[in-house]
């Protein structure tokens, strides 16, 4: 999609998200800007033309071979006519050779016709039998999650009664046939899956008499069952360059670790706790996408991630978020998360998701924006971030940092290129300061303890020296005596008063 970067931020025209053929559905970069419906029609047209060209080439080769054979046969017949009668018995071996040649020619033509024709019922039956031979291996290696999906699928089909049994049978036959065809390319396998979706949807539409909600509900269960079984074969196959693209985008995002939220003009304030939590949840959801095995579950992770982004913007601006705010924020989240196997997950969704999910609705809109975000990251340059080419090259090479543009040792400064690392560096500095203060406090406490011990010893020495200089003398205890007994003039005292009774 065509993305414009201005001083006010990144902007993408909503018309660029739609199908290039103007059908109104969302397009996809993997389908050259077309929706799944138009892409299938274009693919069918190109494939039909290729088949016709191959047929024409095969017929041309057949005519040339027949002409060459006719010329050779005429020359041989003329040579035999000139031979004497005695040599006629030798015609027997030549007749066998001619018959063998004719059979060989017929076999080649039949092979060419069989290659370009649709498979017959006998071929399908043979492939089904071959699929049954590998079915136990498929079930033995199926994961617990796939077994749980199968159980849920069977429980769901029980409510459909007879149509449910037919759906389960068709799904099992399809899985066996695809599993037995080891030579299938990724595009061919995707076409097989999409054809199966289309045929199944048409049958369900006739059964439910046009109830699109019921058809979508059944198709969701069908997709879960099929793709949980085919995940190991379908995800990031060796015949594609998905792994190479994964490594390339991962390396690209690592190289852009210095991009700040201000450069992208993202209206998100991570200093607000509520906003910071939503950003973390968005990063978690987009990373979790790789752990899912079903395309619709991967789309669910993208949907939750985008909803967290909208919530973060709304909490920052105190107003609903716009599309121009959303795309830069999504790019920022992808840069911070660096999701594992990002391109493989996008290709997996594109190839095997129910096409209706990628054409309309929230999930289609979010997925299309994610594809635009990845395309922007791949083509991001100095002009996209409103930087000069020299600044962009210095940042990409690590010679400078947008957070500390004047420092010469930016690449060695902790947290110089990432706000999270910068916050971590500040926290570590605060912890180091607390450690230093605690060490000073402990040193003062130890010094006070030593002073108390020395003061106690000093007091003990002084008391000891005083006791040595002035020893304590304990005198013997004297016996108590009556006070009056010691008085010499006691005989001159008057007699004690005697109580007497007074008359009433």
Give per-residue pLDDT as tens, 27-76.
666 555 666 667 666 666 776 677 777 777 787 788 888 788 778 777 66
- Please give the residue that has the higher pLDDT: either 404 or 231: 231
Q: Which of the four pLDDT bands, split at 50, 70 and 90, describes residue 12?
A: low
> How far apart are the C-alpha atoms of 106 and 193, rounded to whole Å?
34
Model confidence at 166: pLDDT above 70: yes
> How far apart are the C-alpha atoms of 333 and 121, rounded to whole Å?
51
pLDDT of residue 471: 82
- Please give the residue that has the higher pLDDT: either 89 or 59: 59
- 218's CB contacts (< 8 A; 6+ apart) are 160, 167, 204
- 149 by DSSP, 3-state: which? helix
410-429 average pLDDT score:
64
362-379 helix and 242-255 helix, angle to the nearest 10 degrees = 70
pLDDT of residue 41: 66
160-183 average pLDDT score:
89
Model confidence at 222: pLDDT above 90: yes
454-481 pLDDT, tens digit per residue, is 999 999 999 989 888 888 777 777 665 5
Token pair 């149509």: residue: 163
pLDDT of residue 269: 92
Model confidence at 89: pLDDT above 60: no
Entry pTM: 0.61
pLDDT of residue 87: 43
Average pLDDT, the chain: 78
Instruction: Note whether 338 and 284 are within 8 A (CB).
Output: no
Output Rg (C-alpha) for the chain, integer angstroms.
Answer: 46
Helices (H), 239-272: 242-255
Q: How many CA atoms lie within 13 A of 144 on its CB side?
A: 0
276-298 average pLDDT score:
95
- CA 300 → CA 242, 296, 354, 357, 476, distances in Å? 22, 6, 13, 11, 104
3-11 average pLDDT score:
47
310-330 pLDDT, tens digit per residue, is 999 999 999 988 888 999 999
- CA 350 → CA 14, 229, 294, distances in Å? 20, 18, 12
Q: Which of the four pLDDT bands, split at 50, 70 and 90, describes residue 6?
A: very low
Annotate 419-455 with DSSP letters as a single string: HHHHHHHHHHHHHHHHHHHHHHHHHHHHHHHHHHHHH
Neighbouring CB atoms inside 10 A of 423's CB total 13
pLDDT of residue 139: 46
pLDDT of residue 487: 57
What does the block give as tokens for 432?
């180091």
Instruction: Note whether 13 and 21 are within 8 A (CB).
Output: no
Instruction: Note whether 52 and 116 are within 8 A (CB).
Output: no
């Amino acid at each position: 999609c065509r993305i414009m970067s201005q001083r006010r931020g990144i902007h993408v025209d909503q018309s660029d998200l739609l199908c290039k053929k103007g059908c109104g559905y969302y397009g996809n970069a993997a389908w050259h800007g077309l929706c799944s419906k138009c892409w299938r029609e274009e693919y069918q047209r190109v494939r039909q033309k290729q088949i016709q060209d191959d047929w024409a080439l095969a017929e041309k080769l057949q005519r040339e071979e027949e002409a060459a054979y006719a010329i050779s046969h005429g020359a041989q017949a003329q040579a035999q006519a000139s031979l004497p009668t005695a040599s006629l018995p030798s015609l027997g071996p030549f007749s066998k050779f001619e018959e063998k040649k004719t059979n060989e020619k017929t076999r080649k033509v039949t092979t060419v016709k069989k290659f370009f024709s649709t498979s017959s019922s006998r071929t399908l039956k043979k492939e089904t039998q071959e699929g049954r031979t590998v079915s136990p291996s498929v079930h033995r290696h199926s994961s617990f999650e796939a077994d749980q999906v199968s159980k849920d699928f069977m429980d769901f089909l029980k409510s459909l009664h007879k149509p449910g049994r037919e759906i389960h049978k068709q799904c099992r036959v399809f899985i066996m046939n695809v599993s037995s065809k080891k030579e299938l390319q990724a595009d061919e396998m995707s076409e097989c899956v999409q054809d199966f979706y289309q045929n199944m949807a048409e049958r369900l539409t006739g059964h439910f008499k046009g109830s699109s909600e019921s058809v979508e509900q059944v198709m969701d269960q069908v997709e879960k069952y099929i793709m949980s079984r085919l995940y190991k074969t379908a995800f990031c196959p060796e015949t594609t360059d998905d792994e190479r693209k994964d490594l390339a985008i991962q390396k690209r995002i690592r190289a852009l670790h210095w991009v700040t939220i201000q450069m992208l003009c993202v209206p998100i304030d991570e200093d607000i706790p509520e906003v910071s939590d939503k950003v973390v949840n968005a990063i978690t959801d987009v990373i979790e996408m790789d752990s899912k095995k079903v395309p619709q579950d991967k789309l669910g992770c993208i949907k939750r991630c985008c909803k967290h982004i909208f919530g973060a913007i709304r909490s920052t601006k105190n107003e609903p978020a716009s599309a121009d705010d959303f795309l830069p924020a999504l790019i920022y989240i992808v840069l911070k998360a660096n999701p594992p196997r990002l391109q493989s997950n996008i290709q997996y969704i594109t190839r095997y998701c129910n096409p209706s999910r990628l054409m309309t609705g929230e999930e289609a809109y979010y997925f299309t924006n994610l594809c635009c975000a990845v395309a922007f990251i791949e083509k991001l340059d100095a002009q996209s971030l409103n930087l000069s080419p020299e600044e962009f090259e210095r940042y990409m090479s690590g010679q400078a940092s947008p957070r500390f543009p004047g420092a010469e040792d930016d690449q060695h400064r902790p947290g110089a290129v990432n706000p999270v690392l910068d916050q971590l560096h500040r926290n570590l500095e605060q912890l180091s300061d607390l450690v230093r203060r605690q060490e000073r406090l402990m040193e003062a406490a130890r010094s006070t303890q030593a002073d108390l011990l020395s003061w106690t010893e000093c007091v003990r020495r002084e008391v000891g020296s005083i006791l040595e200089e002035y020893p304590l003398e304990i005198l013997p205890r004297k016996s108590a005596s009556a006070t009056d007994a010691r008085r010499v003039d006691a005989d001159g005292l008057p007699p004690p008063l005697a109580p007497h009774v007074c008359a009433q």
